[in-house]
């Protein structure tokens, strides 16, 4: 790929899947420092498969993934299954596998809006509290990129909006790039520099506004209010990341994999 010098993560002609079954084909993308990229797509479109391939959890069938040397990644999973019988405080969880001081733990929890939870049992947290604790843990490694796999699943709409605003603030403060998979096809941060619409391949890519108007997006998700990207707009009219060209949304033939 040309023009990707300095990118944190690059996928080149990536094909990925499981047991010989192709889930993703012909994926070319680059995540640059400081930008927020949101991936949307229907169930089974390969969103989580893409993250696993980029993280090195699965090996590509063909093509390759390149990471910047020494890249620090903070990962927030969809959900953490917590055994209700397992005694595990928030403070203890945040000290796995690297022991953290009380001050570090307190600062991380305060930063994500859940100060004072150190002594609480992990299993007793609400969904929103747990996702913020997971985010705090990811931030403690001072990542250059945050990768979040459907982080607001199970949260109500105000909870989603608040979480997305928090991510935007963290990007502005730390300069970390953000790669986010959205489980809700119609909810994307207005702060996103790019939205990638995935359906086995990249069928559309660009700013939230451009993607919402693209024929490929509308063909997948409809034309009514349910098919429009709902943009959470707030005071941050200007993002702090690099500017990008509006978009390229090209019609493609469906893969026959």
One digit per residue, the tens of pLDDT, for the chain of length 257 reads 444 779 999 999 999 999 889 999 999 999 999 999 999 988 889 999 999 999 999 999 999 999 999 999 999 988 787 787 889 999 999 998 889 999 999 999 999 999 999 999 999 999 899 999 999 999 999 999 999 998 888 788 888 888 988 999 999 999 999 999 986 666 676 778 999 999 999 999 999 888 888 888 888 877 554 444 555 544 343 444 433 333 344 333 333 33
Whether 41 contacts 197, CB under 8 Å: yes
The C-alpha R_g of the chain, in whole angstroms, comes to: 18
Classify residue 117 by burial, with Cβ atoms within 10 Å: 0-12, 13-18, 19+. buried
102-111 helix and 127-139 helix, angle to the nearest 10 degrees: 120
**By CB neighbour count within 10 A (0-12 exposed, 13-18 middle, 19+ buried), where does 103 fall?**
exposed
So what's the pLDDT on residue 143?
97
134, 135, 140, 144 alpha-carbon torsion, rounded to 10°: 130
Contact between 195 and 229 (Cβ < 8 Å)? yes
Predicted confidence at residue 182, as pLDDT, reads: 84
Q: Are 133 and 114 in contact (CB under 8 A)?
A: yes
Q: Confirm if 170 and 28 have CB atoms less than 8 A apart.
A: no
Assign 3-state DSSP to the chain and report helix, strand, coil percentages, each to 5. 30, 25, 45
Query: Model pTM?
Result: 0.83
What local confidence, expressed as pLDDT, does residue 254 receive?
36
Please tell me what DSSP assigns to residue 130. H
């Amino acid at each position: 790929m040309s023009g990707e010098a300095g990118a944190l993560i690059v996928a080149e002609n990536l094909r990925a899947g499981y047991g010989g079954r192709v889930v993703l084909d012909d994926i070319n993308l680059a995540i640059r420092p400081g930008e927020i990229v949101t991936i949307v797509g229907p169930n089974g479109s390969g969103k989580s498969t893409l993250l696993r391939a980029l993280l090195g959890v699965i090996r590509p069938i063909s093509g390759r993934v390149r990471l910047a040397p020494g890249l620090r990644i903070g990962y927030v999973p969809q959900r953490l299954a917590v055994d209700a019988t397992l005694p595990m405080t928030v403070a203890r969880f945040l000290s796995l596998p690297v022991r953290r001081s009380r001050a570090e733990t307190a600062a991380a929890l305060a930063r994500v809006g859940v100060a004072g939870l150190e002594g609480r049992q992990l299993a007793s947290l609400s969904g929103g509290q747990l996702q913020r604790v997971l985010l705090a843990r990811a931030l403690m490694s001072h990542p250059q990129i945050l990768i979040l796999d459907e982080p607001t699943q199970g949260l109500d709409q105000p909870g989603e909006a608040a979480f997305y605003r928090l991510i935007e603030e963290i990007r502005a403060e730390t300069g970390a790039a953000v790669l986010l998979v959205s489980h809700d096809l119609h909810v994307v941060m207005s702060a996103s520099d790019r939205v990638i619409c995935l359906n086995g391949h990249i069928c559309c890519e660009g700013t939230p506004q451009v993607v919402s108007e693209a024929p490929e997006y509308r063909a997948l998700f409809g034309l009514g209010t349910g098919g429009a990207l709902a943009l959470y707009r707030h005071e941050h009219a200007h993002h702090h990341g690099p500017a990008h060209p509006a978009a390229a949304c090209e019609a493609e033939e469906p893969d026959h994999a």
